[in-house]
Amino acid sequence: MPSTSVVSRVTNWATSQRNLTIFVSIFAAFPLSYAFQSIVSESASAGSFLLLVTLAVGVPTAYDEYWPQYDQTWKAIGWILLACAVVTIEFIGLYIVGTEYLDLTPLYASAGAFLVTDLGNLAWLSFRQRT
């Protein structure tokens, strides 16, 4: 039977703001990337993976590195959910522009959407942090 100190440490670790934001972004990433693949087409599997990476890794990294920490965890979780929605809209918009207007293959449109969304948002947050 585990001691209460181990249970307490695991509970504190699992409920820390940083880890909760990571968990929430991962749980949001799965249905959003699945919906992207279902809506766009089956040939966009690279796009759904890159959207998954952007949401599950890029969003919590942006919060941890470039955004001031909130005092209340529910505000941080709200920030993560809003950021996931914004990033998903950006990614899908850039993907559609790439495939429909620039006549790129789904792979190249996905890679471009990933780079512009992920790097563009990090650059904006970095600029915002400096000013």
pLDDT digits (tens, 9 = 90+) for 13-65: 777 788 889 999 999 999 999 999 888 876 667 889 999 999 999 999 998 88
Buried b (16+ CB within 10 A) or exposed e, 70-88: eeebeebbebbbebbeebb
Question: Of 44-48, 77-81, 99-103, 123-127, which range is least confident?
Answer: 44-48
Is pLDDT of 3 > 70?
A: no
Determine the pLDDT at residue 46.
83
Query: Using an 8 Å Cβ cutoff, are 93 and 34 in contact?
Result: no
User: pLDDT per residue over 95-112, tens digit each?
Assistant: 999 999 999 988 999 999
Predicted pLDDT at 102: 94
- Give the per-residue pLDDT at 55: 95
Yes or no: say if 110 and 46 are a contact pair by the CB < 8 Å rule: yes
Average pLDDT over residues 3-20: 76
What global pTM score does this model have? 0.85
Q: What is the distance between the alpha carbons of residues 4 and 17, in angstroms, rounded to a whole number? A: 21
Angle at 88 between CA 46 and CA 96, to 5 degrees: 65
